[in-house]
Amino acid sequence: MNMRRSQSRLLIGALCAVVLTGCAQTRPGMGGAGGCVPLVSVQPQTVVAGDTITVTIAPGCNPETPADGWMIIGSPVGNLDAAVRTPLAADFADGLEVELQLPASFPSGPAFAGVDEWDFSSCADNESCAGPTTDFVVVPNR
């Protein structure tokens, strides 16, 4: 019985992942032109304040680049005043990597990185709208 329950949980988890991925990448008007949201990752996942993170945007989703370009962000959760931002003029067609240097004063705790100032204006009211960010953690320097 435990084997069936485990298999059922795996199947349900896989189906949820497929549905959510399809929703984030194919909804018309969601997150800008093309109806896709760029897939963002960050390395390393755990850093010390003062370290450099690499924000990677995977190829395959190329929304229209704003006139002023993109803004890449690394920020503590709930504290945009401590965020690090860097402008980027490139498009996302072939993917890209951007390095962000976190200041030594960057707060410890949960943080996120990705594309700042993402256009959510096309999201319908009362709907969740995906954004191109990912999480990382800043640990105290020992």
Q: Residue 39, SS3?
A: coil
Residue 18 has pLDDT above 50, yes or no: no
39 and 59 in contact (C-beta within 8 Å)? no
Q: Which of 2-16, 78-92, 126-140 has the lowest mean pLDDT?
A: 2-16
Band (pLDDT 50/70/90 cuts) for residue 141 is confident
pLDDT at 126: 58
Tokens read off for 53:
């993170």
Model confidence at 13: pLDDT above 60? no
Q: Which two tokens stand for residue 116?
A: 């700042």
- pTM check: above 0.75: no
Which of 23, 19, 25 shows the shortest CA–CA distance to 40? 25
**CA–CA separation, 132 and 3 (whole Å):** 36
Evaluate if residue 137 carries a pLDDT over 70.
yes
Scanning 42-136, the segments in alpha helix (DSSP H) are none
pLDDT of residue 123: 72
* Token duo for residue 130: 């995906």
pLDDT in tens, 55-97: 999 999 988 888 899 999 999 999 999 999 999 998 999 999 9
Binned at pLDDT 50, 70 and 90, residue 129 comes out as confident
Percentage of the chain lying above the pLDDT 90 cut: 53
Spatial contact of 138 and 108, defined as CB atoms under 8 Å apart: yes
Q: Contact at 8 Å (CB) between 41 and 53?
A: no
- Report the range out of 15-24, 28-37, 65-74 with the highest average pLDDT: 65-74
Structural domains in the chain, CATH included, are 2-139 (2.60.40.1930)
Percentage helix, strand, coil for the chain under 3-state DSSP, each rounded to 5: 20, 30, 45
pLDDT of 32 over the 70 cut: no
